[in-house]
Amino acid sequence: MSHPDNHLFDAYFTAPAMRAIFSDQGRLQGMLDFEAALARAEASVGLVPHTAVPAIEAACKAERYDVQALAQAIAVAGNSAIPLVKALGRVVATGVPEAERYVHLGATSQDVMDTGLVLQLRDALALVEEDLAGLAEALSRQALQHADTPLVGRTWLQHATPVTLGMKLAGVLGALTRHRQRLREVRPRLTCLQFGGASGSLAALGSKALPVAEALAAQLHLSLPEQPWHTHRDRLVEFASVLGLVAGSLGKFGRDVSLLMQTEAGEVFEPSAPGKGGSSTMPHKRNPVGAAVLIAAATRVPGLLSTLFAAMPQEHERSLGLWHAEWETLPEICCLVSGALRQARIIVDGLEVDAERMRRNLDLTQGLVLAEAVSIVLAQRLGRDKAHHLLETCCRRAVAEGRHLRAVLGEDAEVAGQLSAEELDRLLDPAHYLGQARVWVARAVAEHQRFTD
């Protein structure tokens, strides 16, 4: 169970709405919603008198329970459902004593906890989907705005050939669209009831087992799976895995933003705000504090995800320890991803772009980033190997003499014999060597819009 005084960093790493879902109150309410729905379902098939239902429903309010007392009881009981069900019975008995006998009828602790978790995850999924949609729309706008804004492409952290900022943003947009598709696909597998009783057979409910299960699923607006899944955790791990992909893509975005914010680059910046990104000792600092959250989530989530994978080989019909390892792991993944999504949206909405600095950086190597453009044209006239060797020689000369490649190429008789001054000027202009960058932006935006529509 989590406690507010342990959340010093929540404002930085977690979205408040997600923390509310996985707060102590949120966890308790998920389990209590199961208990109230179970009473209604069993009443609908004649197992529980309808007169008992209101008393049970009235007791299924999280605020009626002492979280600290339950936390202490969990340390002895071994799970959260056992003390909660006992406390629920006492509250019900206080109001309508005869209704207490119908609390938790035919269910087991894991039914309560797993279904309560699924209810929380359904809310978490909706929140993630909403945040992803908003972030994707913001990325779409920025990608279109900067579809033709040239900046140097970097491979192995070195200057390569020109790209556009819109193309970089469109890459992130494409990944997020795929993640949204994955979440849509996983939803029906995730949002299903857990209801199997002691060992999964629902023997305690006899011939009423399936009718109760069907009514319970309907009450909670969950699907009824082909059988209980107490020790088959693929549904949860699949959802967590998609969240891991989201974290990884956001981490890549955060990494690129932080590198572009480096003093030596200075091309793109997170939005500024009073007190944001400063240093305790250096007044000039403007640190990428939002990108740090994205990178931190991408760093932490894989380890948490590995815990869920390691916990999958659960023994027999109820696991010892492996199930327990999930309890705080999956909520933490949800919280980390929510925080990263929130920070990513702040970055994208307020992205500051220095197009002039991008242009200057493109020329830092004095034309070398466009050597490929010249080589490709010369290859058609001189042959590939000869053209490549010729450009390599000219590039080495330009570096050795500290001169612009345009000047060296213009002086080379063999190059001048093949390319006019106008051709060289055009080939060494980054704006004329952007390839399909605009097309990639248009395609990513179109795919985003198709999914959104």
Q: Which of 193, 197, 145, 201 is nearest to 169 (CA)?
A: 145
- Expressed in angstroms, the distance from the first to the final Cα of the chain is 40
Q: Which of 133, 144, 194 is nearest to 166 (CA)?
A: 144
Angle at CA of residue 93, ends 91 and 95, nearest 5°: 80
CA distance 195 to 111: 5
Residue 203 neighbours by CB distance under 10 Å: 12
Active site residue 241: no
Q: Which of 154, 189, 300, 318 is catalytic?
A: 318
**Cβ pair 161, 437 in contact under 8 A:** no
Strands (E), 42-179: 150-155, 158-164
Q: Which of 201, 272, 279, 306 is catalytic?
A: 279
CA distance 368 to 392: 10
Question: 108-145 burial by CB neighbour count: b if 16+ within 10 A, else e?
Answer: bbbbbbbbbbbbbbbbbbebbeebbebbbbbbbebbbe
Distances (CA, A) of 97 to 89, 103, 308, 383: 9, 11, 42, 94
Strand partners, 223: 192
For the chain, give the number of residues.
453
Task: Name 331's Cβ contacts closer than 8 Å, sequence gap at least 6.
Answer: 2, 22, 120
Active site residue 180: no
Token duo for residue 13: 């790493």
- The one-letter code for the residue type at 59 is A
Q: Which helix (DSSP H) or strand (DSSP E) does residue 171 occupy?
A: helix 165-190
Catalytically annotated residues: 279, 318
